[in-house]
Every structure is written in structure tokens, then in C-alpha cells.
Amino acid sequence: MDRTTDLETALIFVIHRIKEQATASGAPLNEEEHLLLENLPSANVNYPVATELGPPELVPRNINLERLCALAKAAYLSDRNINPESLDWEFALAVFTLSRHPMWGVLHSAGVKLYRRPLWDRLFVIIAAMVPVIGVIVFAVKGPQTLIGWAGVVCGTVAFMLLIYFASRRIEQRQLMNYIAKCKFASRNISWKTS
């Protein structure tokens, strides 16, 4: 799996579909919308940052970004009506999520959803979260009576929680890569490949 090629393929597909939808709506993208679509900001610059107490400053709406999201939603719904089995949009969302690309936000606001996680995933997360808490309770009852012993318990708990965090991130990446491979296998004859 080549992540760069997948990212380029997903970008070409989504940008092409948004442009097609804009043309079909009778109002093609203007220069500013086209530039925004090609160069989305890496972070959402529309959220105010509180620098002092009191109400945050009002930030004007980004009408161009809202239009791109609406066009992406219309294109997604249109494609879903034409071919419900297609995984093209889900493939793109999985690639953007794995690559942490800002186009993820556009697809998310368009209503594109990834696979539904199994119920046992949630159960494992709850169990993993409870293990450090139970460990601290057990050590509190029978635990060490010295300050160094308690420091060891706290450090062990923090280390275990960090291990759980990084392991869950790794598992999520592996699941995304497997989902991308599934989407690619399901649509071998993709008509929107680079030409």
C-alpha cells in the first residue's frame, strides 16, 4: 500500500466530483473556491482562540468552505443514489483520516461515514480504561506505605495508560489500512484514476 499514491488518488477523486457537482448545479467554482479546494488550511481557522476572559471574538463564516462542504454532500448523495455499493467516498475518507489531511473535515461534514466498529471494540476500550483504575484501588488497599512506593504506583499507572493510548492508535491505523485495502479490492476498475 502506497499512502502517497492513495492520497493523490483520493484527492483527485474528491476534487473532481466537487467540481462536477458545482458545474451541474449551474454555478461553477469561482477562483477563490477553487484555490480553497486545492489548498485547504491544515487547521480549522474559523474557531476563535480565547486569549482572555470574556466572550470570544466573533469570526466571520467561511462561505466558500461551506459551499464546498455542501457540494461534497450533494456529490456524495448523488453517487450513493446511482451506485450504493461503491466505496469510493469511504476510501477517500479513510485515506484522509489516515493521512490527517484537512479534506477529512469536508467529507465528514458531507456525511461520509467509515465502517461501523464492532461492539467488542467498545468493550475492549472500557476494559482497558478500567485496568489502571482497578490497579490503583488494589494498591491503595494493600499497597506500599512509603512515598517511593506510591510514586512507583503512579508512574506505573501513567505508563500503562500511555501504552494503552499508543496501542489503540496503532490498532486504529491498522484498521484504516485494512479498510483502504478492502475498498481498493472492491473497486478495482476505478474510473477516476489519474489520466
Question: How does residue 195 score in pLDDT terms, banded at 50, 70 and 90?
Answer: very low
CB 153, CB 139: distance < 8 Å: yes
pTM above 0.85, yes or no: no
Question: How does residue 194 score in pLDDT terms, banded at 50, 70 and 90?
Answer: very low
* % of the chain at pLDDT higher than 90: 8
Confidence at residue 102, expressed as pLDDT on a 0 to 100 scale: 86
pLDDT tens per residue, range 64-90: 888 888 999 999 999 889 888 888 888
Q: Is 104 helix (H, G, I), strand (E, B) or coil?
A: helix
Q: How many residues make up the chain in this entry?
A: 195
The whole-angstrom separation of Cα 93 and Cα 150 is: 45
Give one DSSP letter per residue of 20-64, joined into a string. HHHHHTT----HHHHHHHHS--SS-TTS----SSSPPPP----HH
* Closest to 1 measured CA to CA, from 178, 187, 188: 178
Residue for grid cell 494493600: 142
Confidence at residue 187, expressed as pLDDT on a 0 to 100 scale: 65
pLDDT tens per residue, range 156-188: 778 887 888 888 888 888 888 888 888 777 766
Confidence at residue 193, expressed as pLDDT on a 0 to 100 scale: 46
Confidence at residue 52, expressed as pLDDT on a 0 to 100 scale: 55
pLDDT tens per residue, range 16-25: 999 999 999 8
Lowest mean pLDDT among 23-32, 127-136, 168-177, 185-194: 185-194
* Closest to 72 measured CA to CA, from 8, 6, 16: 16
pLDDT tens per residue, range 39-62: 887 655 444 444 555 566 666 777
Question: Hey, which of 8-12, 134-138, 169-173 has the most confident mean pLDDT?
Answer: 8-12
Give one DSSP letter per residue of 182-193, joined into a string. HHHHHTSS-TTS
pLDDT tens per residue, range 89-115: 888 888 888 888 888 888 888 888 877
What does the mean pLDDT of the chain come to? 78
